[in-house]
Amino acid sequence: MNTNDRLFSSFTLPNGTELKNRLFMAPMTTCTGYYDGSVTSELVEYYRVRAGSIGTIIVECCFIDDLGLAFPGAIGIDHDDKIPGLAKIADAIHGEGSRAILQIYHGGRMVDPKLIGGRTPVGPSAVAAPREGAATPVALTGEEVEGIIGKFGEAVRRAIQAGFDGVEIHGANTYLIQQFYSPNSNQRSDEWGGSRDNRAKFPLAVLDITHKMVRQYADDAFIIGYRFSPEELEVPGIRFDDTLYLLEKLAARGLDYLHFSLGAALRPSIVNTDDPTPLIDRYCALRSETLAQIPIMGVGGVVNASDACVAMDHGYDLIAVGRAAIAYPDWAERVRNGETLELFMDSTRREALNIPEPLWRFSLVEAMIRDMSMGESKFKPGVFVENVQDDANELVINVTLETDRIADIELAEGPDQNVEFVTSFEEIRTRILDANTPHVDAITGATSQSEAVKKAVSKAMVKSSKALAAEEGVDLNQDRRVDVVVVGSGGAGLAAAIQAHDEGASVLIVEKMPTIGGNTIKASAGMNAAETRFQRVKGIQDSKALFYQESLKGGGNKNNPELLHRFVENAPQAIEWLATRGIMLNDITTTGGMSIDRTHRPKDGSAVGGYLISGLVRNVNKRNIEVMLDTSVTDILFENGEVTGVRLTTEEGETIVVSTQSVIVATGGFSANSQMVVKYRPDLDGFVTTNHKGATGGGIALLERIGAGTVDMGEIQIHPTVEQTTSYLISESIRGGGAILVNQQGNRFFNEMETRDKVSAQIIALPEKYAYIVFDEHVRAKNKAADEYIAKGLVTSASSPKALAETLGMDYHAFLATLERYNGFVEKQHDDDFGRTTALRAPINEGPFHAIRIAPGVHHTMGGVTINTETCVLNKERQVIPGAFAAGEVVGGIHGGNRIGGNAVADIIIFGTLAGHQAAMRAKR
């Protein structure tokens, strides 16, 4: 039989189900689920593109209970509401012609408490896994053991209802099922522990309930597989003969396949290290007639057809392919065509390969990535000493470059005694060296440090390429030319750059700060839009007309009607523009001044800014759009009545002239320029600001110098809820999620959901000039931002309202009365005291209770340069200045006297993309 016949002929399982070939995609965790374990659309696509010529896909393990998830981003089957998402995966796989099996598991003592909201994991016994930092689990009671078996049964039912062709019971990887069988983790003295037979009861019970559910809800064609790890290293621990003993018992009850869990299909014993015989050989030699009836699947290290054939020579009936199926979505097809494959991926092809970002960062996958983006790079070799700064430290970093790669990164000066710092430095160093590019994701929890290290490497690369170019006689001072220069790398600038690039223009982004993202990165609530697809999905009835009216009312009727019309009209397509670029804002909340849920934010309820900027940066990198950091645009060059270029000053003080036909000014507002704020609004002297340091209004001056008009300069918004010691903005989504404001006396004093200007005015009118934003555990759980505030130490929490009031030095009788009264309003959905009509979501009664002390801070400058509805900058006579475009907070007029929460993000995407379009059109002319 030739190779293709061996691999690609059909195969019939013991239950009579025919598989079109013997090839399976192995179940591999992608860490791509939503925070609650539901399925993301990225995951559906990941599986869809891998289905087709491979016979069967085993979808990654799904936790059957919310205490059972063993890694971040795990997907779950613990509730009926997970069925529709899982059904999408099954449908996608079936649509391409493969079968779909779902693996189900419970992590037991392998679960990290951090993944289950700080709760203690469960296990057969209160014995921690033998690894550093492992939590000691709580031993399940007999009743709870029965309960978990029941949950496995429910999971099987859900898999059937989601349309899967089968389930694979995950009895391997030291998860709960294996924990019950192991004499190491199971030290129980009841019927579930002790003897080998007792320890086998749990895996057998899980198989029994699986059969029961299949009989009840499916038919004979439904496939039941079981995955096992053959040995454990621990003493005592599972040995190979124990495994055979259990497998014989499982086989006797009926199974359609067994899945041998090994890193390499032909691996020998890890316990008897003197014996080189592959375990599969021993398995085939020792198994009974009954066990031999069950097809056995091998996995580990299969990349080419020859690997699969060798595995089959040793006795495997079925072959599961892991990493090769990640690197080659059409793996089976390639093998069928006789290709010889190498296990690596081009660093620039993540999107093309449909690999979700978390999986791309998974160590086993990351190890397959080869950097191709620097293929053409040439450096002058040497050690480059770079001085950079993170949030807290001056760092000196030595970057060693060879002719074509980054060879080393060393911390020469910095807080090298700080373990946390050194650990994250090591992580970002490894990440950059492995990918051999500074364009890697920052380390979670060490963003500023990671950005500093990335910057040091980028600077060294630029210096060294320049040095090499100079040696090769290239004139670096010759004028550069691009179609479009974008000034500022906030949301408006990035959106404009992407759009202009996508319409064929060459684009340069110039950013004066050391990092990308501007003030947008701090945006919290979300992006407003009416009549969107995501609102329709959620059954939210909205209208553009109402959105217009409410924005106008919120802006005190001062908004420029034409700009506001354009804004409202283009908002839904801006939401779609983001979605098609992988930035999904499909969770919806509300902000002050809006009567309807129309504030779109990431599905997990997290703050919009970081998510938006990282998504936009991903798109910028994918398109290789150049970004010059630490570089200011100091002048817009203007000749013969039109823009001809820009003058830049780099961090090193070098002046560069770039010729261009179009400049898009997206430099943000001027909240961080207190002189300018006070010039227009003397009453705001001494106010803190929520903005980043770069919000200094320089773009307004740049444009004024070429004649631009300005409007509404005195319209400056103060945000009511700013933590004063850190200037940290407490998102409106907390109030939108159900929080209230109380004064130092413990009383509510205003409608919390009124517009920002009105709420701010009321806080300033209080004798103490501050207030507390108060919420309970229910609100916290639904708003990721709240966790960020807790982590930053901004929140005072207590187990009861009384304790909270006492900690805040408040009269607790008054505070309790306030809560009781407010909760009554929630119940009847009517606020008798202050007329709050929105976000009367749930009573504040679930401990712990939280409070943040807040007062207003300067937040947004509504005034700015004048533009028309096509983003062309207008001069004082309201005539177009050819070649000058502006978008985002630098522009005045759209928001009138008060910007509604959620309208700034909408503004930057709507007008940013319009500006990109206009600038690209000009380039074409």
Does the active-site annotation cover 756?
A: yes
CA 816/CA 811 separation, integer angstroms:
9
Q: How many CB atoms lie within 10 A of CB 345?
A: 22
In the bound state with ligand ADP, the residue whose beta carbon lies nearer, of 667 and 690, is 667
Cβ of residue 697: shortest distance to ligand ADP, in angstroms?
Answer: 8
CA atoms within 13 A on the CB side of 515: 24
What secondary structure does DSSP assign to 733-796, as a single string? HHHHTT-EEE-TTS-B-S-TTS-HHHHHHHHHHSTTS-EEEEEEHHHHHH-HHHHHHHHTT--E
In the bound state with ligand ADP, the residue whose beta carbon lies nearer, of 214 and 664, is 664
Cβ of residue 908: shortest distance to ligand ADP, in angstroms?
Answer: 4
Nearest residue to 521 (alpha-carbon basis) of 610, 439, 636: 610
Q: How many CB atoms lie within 10 A of CB 138?
A: 16
Cβ of residue 904: shortest distance to ligand ADP, in angstroms?
Answer: 6
CA atoms within 13 A on the CB side of 271: 15
Cα angle, residue 164 at apex, residues 13 and 224 outer, rounded to 5°:
40
In the bound state with ligand ADP, the residue whose beta carbon lies nearer, of 663 and 771, is 663
Cβ of residue 757: shortest distance to ligand ADP, in angstroms?
Answer: 20
In the bound state with ligand ADP, the residue whose beta carbon lies nearer, of 176 and 665, is 665
CA 303/CA 290 separation, integer angstroms:
31
Catalytic residue among 188, 756, 836, 922: 756
Sheet holding 587-589, edge to edge: 527-528, 599-601, 587-589
CA 76/CA 427 separation, integer angstroms:
29
Cβ of residue 744: shortest distance to ligand ADP, in angstroms?
Answer: 34
Cα-to-chain-centroid distance, residue 1 = 48
Residue nearest to ligand ADP (CB): 490
In the bound state with ligand ADP, the residue whose beta carbon lies nearer, of 519 and 760, is 519
In the bound state with ligand ADP, the residue whose beta carbon lies nearer, of 47 and 911, is 911
Residue type present at position 116: I
Confirm if 618 and 584 have CB atoms less than 8 A apart. Answer: no
For residues 717-741, b (16+ Cβ closer than 10 Å) or e, as one string? Answer: bbbbbbbeeeebbbbbbbbbbbbbb
CA 196/CA 208 separation, integer angstroms:
18
Cα-to-chain-centroid distance, residue 364 = 20
Cβ of residue 667: shortest distance to ligand ADP, in angstroms?
Answer: 3
What secondary structure does DSSP assign to 405-468, as a single string? EEEEEEEEES-TT-HHHHHHHHHHHHHHHHHTSS-SPPPTT-HHHHHHHHHHHHHHHHHHHHHH
H, E, C per residue of 570-627: HHHHHHHHHHCCCCCCCEEECCCCCCCCCEEECCCCCCHHHHHHHHHHHHHHHCCCEE
CA 865/CA 890 separation, integer angstroms:
6
Main-chain phi, psi angles of 102, to 5 degrees: -115, 130
DSSP 8-state code for residue 684: G
Q: Which helix (H) or strand (E) holds 923?
A: helix 903-924
Beta bridge partners of 645: 637, 659
Cβ of residue 910: shortest distance to ligand ADP, in angstroms?
Answer: 11
Parallel/antiparallel/unpaired status of strands 771-776 and 99-105: unpaired
In the bound state with ligand ADP, the residue whose beta carbon lies nearer, of 129 and 487, is 487
Cβ of residue 531: shortest distance to ligand ADP, in angstroms?
Answer: 24
SS3 683: helix
DSSP 8-state code for residue 898: -
Could you list the residues that contact ligand ADP (CB under 6 A)?
487-493, 510-513, 518-520, 632-633, 666-668, 694-695, 698-699, 888-889, 908
- Tokens found for residue 527: 């992006």
In the bound state with ligand ADP, the residue whose beta carbon lies nearer, of 269 and 448, is 448
Q: Which helix (H) or strand (E) holds 366?
A: helix 363-366
Cβ of residue 496: shortest distance to ligand ADP, in angstroms?
Answer: 9
Cβ of residue 865: shortest distance to ligand ADP, in angstroms?
Answer: 12
Confirm if 102 and 162 have CB atoms less than 8 A apart. Answer: yes
Cβ of residue 491: shortest distance to ligand ADP, in angstroms?
Answer: 4
Q: How many CB atoms lie within 10 A of CB 10?
A: 10
Catalytically active residues are 756
